[in-house]
Structures are given as structure tokens and as C-alpha cells.
Amino acid sequence: METGNVVVCEESSGFRLYSVFGLTVALGGGSVILLGAVAAHDSASFPLTVIGGGWVLAGWLGWQRRGRSATRIVLDDGIVTFLGAKVRREIPARELAAFRWQRLDPSHVGSSVFTTLEGDTIRCSPRMTGLLSLLVEPKAQNPGLATPM
């Protein structure tokens, strides 16, 4: 979405629903399996504990990663602002070195990554509305910006 001199890029609502639902199912389902292991308390308890613990760990790590990813990017007068639950970072557009999706992810469900000239990485939601507009503007200000397009 472009408003005047400001370009705004936000995570799509469908992907937000998809990721929140999936992470909730992983965390909740793993918890139910762990409760089943406690209730069974016999020879089936150990495999249930391992499987349930794996699902709980996967859900928890997914929520942590989601919290550290930017879900909104704003480009205003040459300054790119990355916003998320635990992320607020402002950098000049000319400091961006590259944009890429994760390797081996043709469906783009893993994080997309911006890399700065200093080598820092900023993880973003992979499905964002207005991403093309956001990539065209910094490319005009920084012709050296590497993009997969």
C-alpha cells in the first residue's frame, strides 16, 4: 500500500491466520499428548512424552520466532522501519544490502530476510502485501540492493 511518499508493507491476514493456527495446534496438541502420557503412566508414556515434548518444543520455538519477525515494514523518506511484536528497527534504505527468501522454501512459508551492509539480518513475514512496492523504492535509492526478482 502506497500513501504519498510512504510505502507500507504488511503481513497478509490469511498468512497470519495460517501461522497462528498452526502454531497453536502444535503447542496445544503437544500439551494434550503430554497430559495423555501423564494419565497413561505405563509403557506407552515414554513415546508419548517424546512426541508430545517435540510438538510443544516446535510450537514454542515457532511462537518465539514469530515474535522476533517483522510483520509490518514502512518506508518513509529513505528510512525503512521494521515493526513486529518484539521488533522495532529503523535503518536508512541505502544501508540495505540484500533481500531473499529462505533457501529450499519454494512456497515462501519460512521467513524472508533483509541483510544490511553491516551484515545484520532482519527476519520478516514471508507473505506481505505491498512487498514489490517496498522493494522497488529502496532499489531506486540503492541500486546495489540484491533482490531475487
Q: What is the pLDDT of residue 149?
A: 58
Strand partners, 84: 70
> Which amino acid would we find at residue 98?
A
Secondary structure (DSSP) of 28-75: HHHHHHHHHHHHH-STTHHHHHHHHHHHHHHHHHHHHHHHTSEEEEEE
Q: Considering only CA atoms, which of 67, 63, 2 is closest in space to residue 28?
A: 63
Q: Considering only CA atoms, which of 92, 35, 100, 26 is closest in space to residue 65?
A: 26
In this prediction, residue 50 has a pLDDT band, given cuts at 50, 70 and 90, of very high
Name the grid cell of 76: 518513509
Interval 99-123 mean pLDDT = 85
Alpha-carbon distance 52 to 55, whole Å?
Answer: 5
Q: What is the pLDDT of residue 70?
A: 93
Better-predicted residue by pLDDT, 111 or 21: 21
Interval 55-78 mean pLDDT = 92
The neighbour count for residue 66, using CB atoms within 10 Å, is 19
Burial class (CB in 10 A: 0-12, 13-18, 19+), 42: exposed
Q: What is the mean pLDDT of the chain?
A: 87
Q: What is the pTM of this model?
A: 0.79
Alpha-carbon distance 33 to 38, whole Å?
Answer: 9
Q: Is the pLDDT of residue 4 over 60?
A: no
In this prediction, residue 22 has a pLDDT band, given cuts at 50, 70 and 90, of very high
Q: Considering only CA atoms, which of 100, 108, 96 is closest in space to residue 139?
A: 96
